Structure 1
Amino acid sequence: MKAFRRAWSPLTAIALGALIAVSVTAHAADPDKKEIRFGATAGPYSDQIRYGIKPQLEKEGYKVTIVEFSDYVQPNLALADGALDANAFQHEVYLKKFSADHKLALSELVKVPTAPIGLYSHKHKRLDELTDGATVSLPNDVTNQARAIILLQQLGWVTLKPGIDPVKSSERDIDANPHKIKLVPLEAAQLPRSLDDVDYAFVNGNFALASGLKLTDALLLEKIPPYYLNLVAVRTADLHKPYVKDIATAYRSAEFKRVIDERFAGFSKPSE
């Protein structure tokens, strides 16, 4: 995953630096903190916090600040550095690999309703319009690329080499590509923009919704297994702190479930 780490912009670095300074002071001065900095990718996951979680926590006396991100790298680095107290944007496969690769002590708190990855097109109305040499964009990060390749295999557009675990697959593991599809790996946030340039694009649900696409616009939607449901992550050392338990309680509440039913139709929901 180190290949996907990039430098923060100067403004982001300044902002997160200020948050880190505040965080260190707050942790030292107030072990029972009442201020929560919650990171999320812009779109449905920040909106879930805004409409379903923040109001509940504020009733409990917390001040909640939502920090939005446009990529899958910075939220975990900011959480580990103390600039955030929790984040919501990733599934457990990504969290475990990113934490291991970057030696971060981060843990899952609770799974959240998740928008499935979908196959979209601005050029085609059906999947059977695939032609030889078609271009297909897909995420360039390891775990989400595997999700797209699993769907490609389900469609019969590619087959994997014998013995390959689909959950860990990449474009290098493709054995047969009968239509000579040209795969175009891109950063997940850029995939909606690629729709004007490719035949088909696999787009993560949060970025699809944030770009104005609807889940019902997809030509194919993933059936999300539990390990691909998104989650709330916190620092491992904070797992048993009161504010973390209050976050978990808010996500498991009937009030949050009502918000999901009203605002996030079509999302896959955790069983808990």
Structure 2
Amino acid sequence: MGLTDVRERVRDALFARVAGPDGPSNRARIHGAPGPRWFAADSAIRRVHGDTAMFVGGLRALLLQSLHPLAMAAVAAHSGYRGDPWGRLQRTSTFLAVTTFGTAEDAERAVATVGAVHRRVRGTAADGRPYRADDPHLLRWVHIAEVDSFLRAHQRYGAHPLDEAGCDRYVAETAVIAEKLGVLEPPRTRDELDQALAAYRPELRGTAEARAAARFLLVTPPIPWAARVPYAVLAAAGVAMLPRWTRPQLRLPYLPVAEGTSVRLMAGVLVKSVRWAMSAPVPEA
């Protein structure tokens, strides 16, 4: 088996995991359908969401989001992340792809579908507080945790990190999608993003549900044995980028020397390798 064959096999295996069985048809529609898009080809959001650094950013986002007790209660009770983790990943990745790269018509349809799901998700957290997935305050938390994670991962591991103005453009462009999902006053600059995160800090803590989710993501993920080592590197990179105060909340170790050297080096090599594999030409259907 030649290097080209290995590259294509890795590309196909990763794409199948992330995009699911409908991935090829979705990809053809997202990138090939004619019509206006929400974002231009040279937009910051396309640069960030199209880079393999998103693998690290996605793991960080899930861990950070879990620290809001009401958001985590909704995920634990309604998302099916344990029973169908790959399905949840595939739905999320498809939503990101459609809203970032797809036609405006398809993007509007994807937002409407997510909004309909959110309106049905409601319940009571372990501390007795009610929650609704369409609560603008919770939607805002999920949004800013994602944007912060995706941007930080891109700036550290992305092929072409953004300059300061580009970071602000990315935050502003993600706000377009956030508002359509029901987020009120999403941040539009990196400074506003930092301020929004700080404002949520008093509400955040590690619940039993959050720690169980962290264990599932980091210790017992449902992945093949052959992928355990590279996954562990990506997971360690995601953890290393979390704020220090989150570690005791999720009962995660803090190893600054290892995280700043070996973890960062190995993750950088792995992200580049995944980028190389995923950039292999896709044969015409």
TM over 0.5: no
Higher normalized helix content (fraction of residues): 2
TM-score (norm. length: structure 1): 0.29
TM-score (norm. length: structure 2): 0.28
